[in-house]
Amino acid sequence: MAALDCLKLDDLIILKINGSLTSEEIAQVEQPFAVLTAQPGARIVVDLTNVEIVTTPALSMFIAAANHAKHSGGKLVFTQATPPVRDILHRLRLSAVLITVPGLDDAIAQARA
């Protein structure tokens, strides 16, 4: 079962996703993720440490959130992707659309920059 935890640090939101983001499981996080990432000008770090797998609906959710952040003056940074998730992001060349940073501290600095 997928879950979404939210931590607010001053001007920054850290979203930690837990579980698999398959077509069946994304329903638990999709709506709260969309609400949190739709805030104009928000600076958000998405921690993928505990995400085992992502499928097309999750990737679509990530891309939509990144596009919204870009157009609203915010910033969305993904970090700590597990090897299977990192492999999918790399194979689909999503680094052209998504900001991905290896470490949480670097992701926080990138989101605030």
- Please report, to the nearest 10 degrees, the dihedral formed by the alpha carbons of residues 86, 90, 93, 98 taken in order: 30
**pTM, to two decimals:** 0.92
What CATH number does the domain containing 80 carry?
Answer: 3.30.750.24
Q: What local confidence, expressed as pLDDT, does residue 10 receive?
A: 87
Rounded CA gap, 92 and 100, in Å? 13
Domain extent at residue 84: 3-112
As for how many domains the chain has, the answer is: 1
pLDDT in tens, 44-72: 999 999 999 999 999 999 999 999 999 99
pLDDT in tens, 84-95: 999 999 999 998
The angle formed by the CA atoms of residues 8, 79 and 72, to the nearest 5 degrees, is 60
